[in-house]
Structure 1
């Protein structure tokens, strides 16, 4: 008799614990995203940051096209992003040669990935390429900063068969470029970079 009563009560306790854990995780993520980020330094010349801002605008256009599942607009935005990336004046950055070499390598890798973007036949391939560009672009911005701007590093745990993928946004709202309208708001902000 006690065993029959204990099983439902035990099951109820486990379900409550799991629900509480999920609620706690969601709240802590929301609180982290709501907290203002401490301002980081963007110490390089304004000409570089003006060019980097053009790169970011083209990137956000690419992300928006993928949110809308628009291959033609995505190809146009990727071509624009490649053009701006290729003209990014990294040689004006005043930093040691090993650090500059890393930055130059990153911009070259982004450009190479974008060169193959249009050749991807389906949205899944384009989104995979976008993921690689997103990761490298995040590294670039973390290394140089982006004066006067805030960048939200967002994450979808379900992208690419639950492997997960990141993207960058200029707003805290989640608009998922990996699923578009299928799961538009799936994801969360994992990091916020705010530069002076």
Structure 2
């Protein structure tokens, strides 16, 4: 009997110790608000730092690189979609009316003069010439085009108009040079689709420093993106219209 009582007491004592141990273990862990003076375990501190470090406040330049990567991806996709086994396609565009050619040639001429002003570091003249581009875009009569081409022109005209407007909002020549690229892209699309009329030849040139293209009526490089500081930086990468007035659509490696 005495032995059974002793064993019962021992069992009760062990149970009490076990409960106490469980209670102490279940108290708020280190790093919990209830224990603010205790450091969290290393793995928890590491997780906290990882979450904080996941916010990546990259400088503005990173956005520019991202934008460039998207542009390169779009160019690559367009290149692959239009590439034949010989890595080159050539297509003569259908002619448009003389009246439309005349109106578009005035836009293209004002664009050329804008590029020349930027190459000469002449911000004031560049703004005046871009105002001509903008006003002449508004004066083109789409009814001069065949119905099958009107939608394409209206889309290009709208995009070019927005690009010209953004150019005219720039406060200095550096900003104007950045804004010159979008209008150049639209002019290239227009020349490929509708020709250049009497303004031939038309060359596309590329500036590797700016990563941008522009159009000129001659092959000698006059870089609008850097002006006098790097006037001859760049090269001809395509001929959009020949001296005979033929307009070509070409896709090739360069």
TM-score in same-fold range (> 0.5): yes
The structure number with the bigger radius of gyration is 2
Aligned to 2:162, what secondary structure does the other structure show?
helix
Question: 2:191 maps to which residue?
Answer: 141
Cα deviation, 1:87-142, whole Å, max 9, x if unaligned, reads 1222211142xx42232011111112212322211222211211100001100110
Q: Is the 1:154–1:169 contact (alpha carbons within 8 Å) kept by the matching residues of 2?
A: yes
**In 2: Cα distance, 1:192 partner to 1:171 partner:** 10
> Does 2:126 correspond to 1:87?
no
Runs ≥4 residues deviating over 6 A: none
CA 1:39–1:139 in structure 2 vs 1: closer, same or farther (change >3 Å)?
A: closer
Moved more, 87-96 or 49-58: 87-96
Residue among 207, 214, 230 paired with 1:156: 207
Return the match for 1:184 from 228, 231, 252.
231
Larger fraction in helix: 1
**Structure 1 gaps, min length 5:** 1-37
Gapped regions of structure 2 (runs ≥ 5)? 1-89, 247-254
Q: Size of the alignment, in residue pairs?
A: 153
Distance 1:66 1:42, change over 3 A: farther
Query: CA contact under 8 A between 2:134 and 2:165: conserved in structure 1?
Result: yes
State the distance in 1 between where 2:162 and 2:220 align: 30
Moved more, 184-193 or 117-126: 117-126
Tell me what 2:152 maps to. Answer: 102
| TM-score, L = length of structure 1 | 0.73
For 1:137 and 1:123, locate their aligned partners in 2 and report how far apart those are by CA, in whole Å.
Answer: 20
Give 1:117-128 correspondences, 5 Å limit: 117-128=167-178
* Larger relative contact order, structure 1 or 2 (CA cutoff 8 Å, min sep 6): 1
